[in-house]
Amino acid sequence: MASTLLLQSTMGFLRPSTTLSATRVAAAAGLRFSQTRRSMAMISTETQGAAETEEFRVFFKKDGNKISPWHDIPLKADGQTYNFITEIPKFTKAKMEVATKEAMNPISQDMKKGKLRYYHGPIFWNYGLLPQTWEDPNHEHPELKVKGDNDPVDVVEIGSVALTVGSVTPVKPLGVLAMIDDGELDWKIIAIAASDPLANELNDIADVEAKLPGVVSGIREWFRWYKTPDDKPINAFGFGERALAKADALKVIDETHAAWKGFMNGKTDGGKLWKA
């Protein structure tokens, strides 16, 4: 798809020859990320159907053409931040998600047994995904011995602003929880919007624990219990239930980005998942 090629070429990594000076390489990188920001500013959303109905969809568009938020929006916003797509704004209950099996992957309200899904209480953080990532259900984690949940990687954004459904926000990853849901690995990246007033003070998960006590445990307990009103068991967490450090979060992002590439180029079977 043309939009995919445009975005990928914009984010393409340089392979500087030995004749390029460090200054020229840095300048080229700065230009590349400036172009990316301009490209992202051209992305808009378009809704179809009434909210809180089975028909409701949020489509993403660029230059008047529909694009996939999962496949066409680049993973990285710049050298240090990543593009976060909001599915569920903080303090809301409707279970919105990118429809990974629908053409162009619009955001829709999840359904179960013919009924629209809602959380039993509001979520206290912005919730969504990192584009161009995939938790591969064919791959077993070597330590946790569970496979991926077949979705893009989830993000819990802990900033002060309630973001809107379909917004694309540069975020700083700070740590990650290894949630195990019904026998599947479901990573939860903990991040903060780069524009948040606290962003400069939070650089790793230890900073979150020190400056925002209770946030990490709150996230863990919310996701541990949120399915129990539907008579589902509580969710478990790997690695002694610890929130792992930023370095571990970046490793998860890199691994799931590589898995997404394998799905897109046909090396890994994605089943019914949609791709152009």
By annotation, the residues acting in catalysis are 119
Distance between CA atoms of residues 12 and 8, nearest Å: 6
In sequence order, the 6+-apart residues with CB closer than 8 A to the CB of 103 are 274
Helix (H) or strand (E) holding 216: helix 215-225
- What is residue 28's three-state secondary structure? helix
Distance between CA atoms of residues 33 and 210, nearest Å: 32
Alpha carbon distances (Å) from 219 to 147, 199, 241 = 22, 18, 12
Distance between CA atoms of residues 170 and 75, nearest Å: 10
Distance between CA atoms of residues 74 and 170, nearest Å: 11
